[in-house]
Amino acid sequence: MQNEIQIQDILHLKSIPKISDRKIINLVNHFGNTKEILSVEPRKLIKVPGIKEQDASLIRHSVFNQQAIEKQFSLLNKVDGRIISLWDNEYPAQLKNIYDPPALLFVRGKLHVDDNFSIAIVGTRHPTAYGKQHAEHFAQELARRGITVVSGLARGIDTIVHKSTLHQHGRTVAVLGGSIDRIYPGENEKLVEVIESKNNGAVISELLMSTPSHPAFFPRRNRIISGMSLGTLIIESDRNGGAMITATTAIDQNRELFALPGNISEKKSYGTNTLIKSGQAKLVQSVDDILDELAVPLQAVITSKPHKVEPPTLNVFEQKIYDVMTLDPLHIDVISEQSGLTTSDVLVNLLSLEFKGIVLQMAGKMFRRV
């Protein structure tokens, strides 16, 4: 069917008001040919489930905007991206099975067959030291066992998860709440470059190119995070935190939900503790709690013996900085003084150490070893 489905035709259908992805999917599955969808009479279109007379009329009388579609492909080329459709083999298998999968995914990097056996980890944008520590640990342990880790590239837990996975040479998929050419937050541009390079993973979005990130898109983004994963782990969230939306979508999609228990007096643990208390999420204390629950579907990818990761090679300046650092956070000025390097040199090399996965930035220009 792939040869009969044209991406540009689907892009055109997406531009028509009130024609949702669900309607597009029904149309393609019914006709099997996107050109036919755009050329048949309205009376044939309304035979498709979910297509009303008004929809059929809008489709039949819509004007194909070739310039707008070419603009999408031009923007895509600038970031070396591509578009895959629901009917392509590369499309995540788990995501196909949710109620409302995206008809199209915009992709930077490469999706791999093993990504069909992934685990999502999400959490607050303002984690405690406890949350950061366990986000690192769970992401690294999953990566060491060959499991792709999915998250949302947001500040806080999501960013820690992506970086920690890469540190273990694992695969990670970042799902965006904006288009793949409008990376948000901006400081994660470099992280995106690392993810999409050397088969480290992929950065994906269902949003048209040049769409800025917006809170209104986050629930849609979150359904993709949980939808392409076998299970989702929530690490720190208030009752109304964004991660709780991902928890809800995971439940609606009949996917496994896990939560890290937290301090009962810590507001950022209210959400996770409530999920555990209500029985909606399984309490986890180690990665084995997740692996035991998903042992059967993960058999295809799990590594029985976690692989050993060699320490990264450091240049002279990175080594000087790393030697003065400890597991306790140090301010950048203290690191500069103790290493004998200027603050600007320290900052540049700390960024490099962070991407090598051995240093973590904390709030207030504080840094510590991982």
pLDDT digits (tens, 9 = 90+) for 290-316: 999 998 888 777 754 455 556 788 999
Question: Domain 107-300 belongs to what topology?
Answer: Rossmann fold (3.40.50)
> What SS3 state is found at 306?
coil
Where does the pLDDT of residue 327 fall: very low under 50, low under 70, confident under 90, or very high at 90 and above? confident
Where does the pLDDT of residue 111 fall: very low under 50, low under 70, confident under 90, or very high at 90 and above? very high
**Structural tokens at position 158:** 């999501």
Architecture category of domain 316-369 in CATH: Orthogonal Bundle (1.10)
DSSP 206: S
Q: Taking the CB of residue 38, how many other CB atoms lie within 10 A of it?
A: 18
Q: With 70 as the cut, is the pLDDT of residue 366 above it?
A: yes
Domain ranges of the chain: 1-64, 107-300, 316-369
Least confident of 98-112, 288-302, 328-342: 288-302
Comparing C-alpha atoms, which of 148, 72, 138 is closest to residue 104? 72
pTM: 0.83
Q: With 50 as the cut, is the pLDDT of residue 192 above it?
A: yes
Q: With 50 as the cut, is the pLDDT of residue 337 above it?
A: yes
What integer pLDDT is reported at residue 363 of this predicted model?
A: 75
Average pLDDT of the chain, as a whole number: 92
What integer pLDDT is reported at residue 362 of this predicted model?
A: 79
What integer pLDDT is reported at residue 303 of this predicted model?
A: 56
Sequence-distant (6+) residues with CB within 8 A of 112 are 148, 171, 199
Comparing C-alpha atoms, which of 159, 147, 78, 169 is closest to residue 363? 159
More confident residue, 147 or 295: 147
Question: Exposed/middle/buried for 268, CB within 10 Å: 0-12, 13-18, 19+?
Answer: buried
pLDDT digits (tens, 9 = 90+) for 176-189: 999 999 999 999 99
Give the amino acid at 193.
Answer: E
Q: With 60 as the cut, is the pLDDT of residue 113 above it?
A: yes
The answer to whether domain 107-300 and domain 316-369 are alike in fold is: no
pLDDT digits (tens, 9 = 90+) for 268-279: 999 999 999 999
More confident residue, 106 or 366: 106
What integer pLDDT is reported at residue 299 of this predicted model?
A: 78
Question: Domain 1-64 belongs to what topology?
Answer: DNA polymerase; domain 1 (1.10.150)
